[in-house]
Structure 1
């Protein structure tokens, strides 16, 4: 169900993420506003980074990424799950996060940071349930890749 990103996943990743951002949540954002998605291996691959996708019945239904930001820290990025596969019963979001956390541990990461929008209320509860604590933007590391739509931030130690 969860596996590393492959170049053949490129269009499915764009379609999933943009449909959730724009169609579900009305966020005015394009692929051009997210240059990380134009070359996923180059952006997310170095250091402790990585990008994973979730599939169900051959269809891409979720994504999660880690971006190495130095000093033993990563940014959790691109955590998206298709509406049809959300919720505890489906388990897709938890499987994606567990994959990213295991990779972070295996790669010697000590802290994970993330930014999100205040519109993703269910995601806030999910992150908090998984040990993330809300932090102010001023607490973010200098190399944190903040997006224009990010207005809510979290951090978690990797144990």
Structure 2
């Protein structure tokens, strides 16, 4: 039995669990009107995220996906943080899943000589806003994003993390 979640690089064996986890959180927990058809990247993780200086990770607990995070290479040594989702039971300090995922992504960014990590999120993810701010992300205006940053329809709040 595992003591806590283990962070692993994504491989296709996790695809179904990744899609199910993300959709459940988006649709059922936060009532975000988004479908899997709106997110074709979830079916092309290797080609979409795991290229250039990007990557995608899963948090596994007893072999099951309980969290995800990705960095999308947007050029000029910048990445977009995407798909940070943690199953409700694995949030908070007991399992520390979100921190484990974020720390792995930041460590990867350092290894890849990334200058900054950007992210967009929705207004209703208030706990996520606190989490990002507590972890050194600064709230920025949309005008401060790199031109190559892929703004999603649901994104209304933006953050930047300077990698040191």
Q: TM-score range by the shorter chain?
A: over 0.9
> For 1:105, what is the secondary structure of its paired residue?
helix
| Structure 1: unaligned runs, 5 residues or longer | none
Name the CA distance, whole Å, in 1 between partners of 2:64 and 2:43: 20
Task: Please tell me whether residue 106 in structure 1 is matched to residue 111 in structure 2.
Answer: yes
Task: Please tell me whether residue 71 in structure 1 is matched to residue 76 in structure 2.
Answer: yes
Name the CA distance, whole Å, in 1 between partners of 2:25 and 2:151: 19
Name the CA distance, whole Å, in 1 between partners of 2:134 and 2:163: 15
**Which runs of structure 1 show a deviation greater than 3 angstroms over 4 or more consecutive aligned residues?**
none
Task: Please tell me whether residue 16 in structure 1 is matched to residue 16 in structure 2.
Answer: no
Task: Please tell me whether residue 5 in structure 1 is matched to residue 10 in structure 2.
Answer: yes
Q: What is the count of residue pairs matched by the alignment?
A: 159
Counterpart in 1 of 2:58? 53
Alignment of 1:4-153 (within 5 A): 4-153=9-158
Name the CA distance, whole Å, in 2 between partners of 1:49 and 1:26: 28
Name the CA distance, whole Å, in 1 between partners of 2:68 and 2:113: 22
Task: Please tell me whether residue 158 in structure 1 is matched to residue 163 in structure 2.
Answer: yes
> For 2:94, what is the secondary structure of its paired residue?
coil
How far off its partner does 1:90 sit?
1.3
| Structure 2: unaligned runs, 5 residues or longer | 1-5
> For 2:72, what is the secondary structure of its paired residue?
strand
More divergent stretch after superposition (33-42 vs 93-102): 33-42
How far off its partner does 1:89 sit?
2.1
Cα RMSD over matched residues? 0.7
TM-score by length of 1: 0.98
Name the CA distance, whole Å, in 1 between partners of 2:67 and 2:150: 21
